[in-house]
Amino acid sequence: MIGEKMIDKIKKFLTDTLYLKDIKCIFCNCELDKPSKYCVCDNCLKSLPYITGKVCAKCGEPIKSMATHCMRCKNHVERGFDFARARFLYDDKISKAIKDFKYYGKKYLGEYLSAFLYDLYVLEKIDAAVIIPAPISANSLKARGFNQTEILCKCFADAGLNVNTKCVIKRLETQNQASLNYKDRQTNLAGAFKVVGKSAVKNKRCLIVDDIFTTGATASEIGAVLKKAGATKVSVLTLCHELPDNVKN
Ligand SMILES: [Zn+2]
Ligand SMILES: [Zn+2]
């Protein structure tokens, strides 16, 4: 007979070293006592930084005033998209999950994060004919081994929606947006994206899926090339929205 302690030890060994999927909360790493479609414990599920209050009608940035638009959308900052929304505010918990997913080999996390994005798609009643994971460059793909935004589209594909990973490419290597200031972020991506499958987007409502919305520069550049190729509407869904420094509390 194997004692209970031994079973616990074996279980711990397995969960710690082999396959963490479906066993531990993707945010706090506690063991889950029941299955969850997000693989998140009840405590985290309650305390995640959901965006629930008033937001900019265009870009989805939380706003506290009576205004309908944030300062940047109000000032007509270049916006190649029509509508953007995010599930969460960018905080330490979300940041860690995204980093683990993108940079530390925990590719499976993306499948659960995808469930949050798909729920937002349903909640916002976005009816897109084409779902486009934001493309990454050939070098980034080679280095990482996968495009994180394609994995974030898993639940969209599972729901039978038209996910197109080929119609837009990132043809230029650019500096990492996170390393740049606001002004440089706007010019860094100029000409970086190209629509290579015009018939896939022409006269269609398109949805771009990405992980983080910061200044909106990436969404704007991709949105602009989609519009140029004939897309009728471009919506954007991201897992989180990072507030600009001047809006943070
Ligand atoms: Zn948790
Ligand atoms: Zn806005």
pLDDT digits (tens, 9 = 90+) for 210-234: 999 998 999 999 999 999 999 999 9
Pick the CATH number of 48-241 from 3.10.260, 3.40.50, 3.30.1490, 3.30.70: 3.40.50
Ligand number, closest to the Cα atom of 32: 1
From the list 81, 73, 37, 38, the residue with the least C-alpha distance to 55 is: 73
The phi, psi pair for 65, rounded to 5°, reads: -80, -175
- Distance between Cα 63 and ligand 2 center (Å): 9
Domain ranges for the chain, please list them. 1-42, 48-241
Tell me how crowded residue 234 is: count the other CB atoms within 10 A of its CB. 27
- Distance between Cα 60 and ligand 2 center (Å): 6
- Distance between Cα 4 and ligand 1 center (Å): 25
Position with higher pLDDT, 10 vs 113: 113
Position with higher pLDDT, 116 vs 197: 116
Confidence of residue 249 (pLDDT cuts 50, 70, 90): very low
- E-assigned strands of the chain? 83-89, 130-133, 168-170, 193-195, 205-213, 233-241
CB 206, CB 130: distance < 8 Å: yes
- Distance between Cα 135 and ligand 1 center (Å): 30
Q: What is the tens place of the pLDDT at every residue in 72-96? A: 898 877 789 999 999 999 999 999 9
Q: What is the tens place of the pLDDT at every residue in 35-49? A: 888 999 999 999 999
Ligand number, closest to the Cα atom of 83: 2
Query: pTM of the entire structure?
Result: 0.88
- Distance between Cα 32 and ligand 1 center (Å): 8
Q: Give me the pLDDT at residue 61, please.
A: 95
Q: Give me the pLDDT at residue 99, please.
A: 93
- Distance between Cα 93 and ligand 1 center (Å): 10
Ligand number, closest to the Cα atom of 74: 2
